[in-house]
Amino acid sequence: LRLLTTGAAGMLGRRVVAVAQERGWDVTGIDVDEADITDATAIGAVVANLDPDVVVHCAAYTNVDAAEENEDLALAINGAGAGNVAAAAAKTGARIVHVSTDYVFDGENDKPWVESDAPAPLGAYGRTKLAGEHAVVAANPDHAIARTAWLFGAGGPNFCDTMLRLGAERDSVSVVTDQQGCPTWTGHLALALVELAAAPETGLFHTAGAGSCSWFELTQELFERANVDCEIKRTTAAEFARAAPRPAWSVMASERREAPRLPAWQEGVAGHLSETISR
């Protein structure tokens, strides 16, 4: 299979390239230096030249807080940009696997979000990512949209690495207890994306680490496994205010039998730590 990955300099994209290469696929990774996805002509030319069977689209504007101030730019990248990539893929007859987010939901639920639940983003980032989903659906009928959440992994800033750094520097850290979600290791998600790349099914797929926890519980798991001696204090989202509102309940599950299932989030933490420690 010939696979093209966008956002290949980012945390998830680099892992998709590595996983697909391990499968023996013909893989090319591109980032903004090769083609800015807001430039339909530029990305169209790169995709046409490479003529892939499938494009895994990981490039995005991912700064959730900064998106509140820069929604136009975030929309150009996450909305129209995603549509440009999907259209370029469609033109060469390629499938697109598009990565989206739990932040398309408002957090008002008492059970895991499934694919048929109605999205209602709380903030600019979620709105732009939802626009991207719509743009992908409109531009390429052969699409799989993989919504994921709370990503961590090698090669990009993420919550787990921040907490490991703070845990080494400080006697205590304060972590939010009232947001619940599905931590997802890029090592697990990339396998699921590669599986979706080769699958015939189209539409939405919820692909996040199995189980759920709060940011506080994630930090507990992380510090226990990494033997970090640092007190974890409880705080709330209201006390730890940030520019963008976050959904309180971001837990996701799939109602689709054919959706790839990821391992438990704790296994993702273990996988990440085994790499972090061996680095």
Ligand X SMILES: NC(=O)c1ccc[n+]([C@@H]2O[C@H](COP(=O)([O-])OP(=O)(O)OC[C@H]3O[C@@H](n4cnc5c(N)ncnc54)[C@H](OP(=O)(O)O)[C@@H]3O)[C@@H](O)[C@H]2O)c1
Contact footprint for ligand X (CB under 6 A): 7, 9-13, 31-32, 36-38, 58-62, 77, 81, 99, 101, 129, 148-151, 156
Please state the closest distance from residue 189 (CB atom) to ligand X, in A: 8
Catalytic entry in 25, 103, 105, 125: 125
- d(Cα 25, Cα 240) in Å, to the nearest integer? 44
Q: How far is the CB of 38 from ligand X (least distance, A)?
A: 5
Q: Which residue has the closest beta carbon to ligand X?
A: 10
Least separation, in Å, of the C-beta of 166 and ligand X?
Answer: 18
Q: What is the DSSP letter of 158?
A: -
The answer to whether 61 is a known catalytic residue is no
CA distances from 185 to 70, 82, 156, 259 (A): 28, 23, 12, 17
Minimum distance of ligand X from residue 206's CB (angstroms): 11
- Using the minimum distance from each CB to ligand X, give the nearer residue, 14 or 173: 14
Q: How many CB atoms lie within 10 A of CB 192?
A: 21
CB-based contact 202:232 (threshold 8 Å): no
Nearer to ligand X, 159 or 263 (CB): 159
User: Please, are residues 146 and 170 in contact by the beta-carbon 8 Å criterion?
Assistant: no
- SS3 (DSSP) at 8: coil
N residues, the chain: 279
**CB nearer ligand X, residue 101 or residue 254:** 101
Complex with ligand X: residue 136 or 170, whichever CB lies closer: 136
Alpha carbon distance 98, 95 (integer Å): 10
Catalytic positions: 125
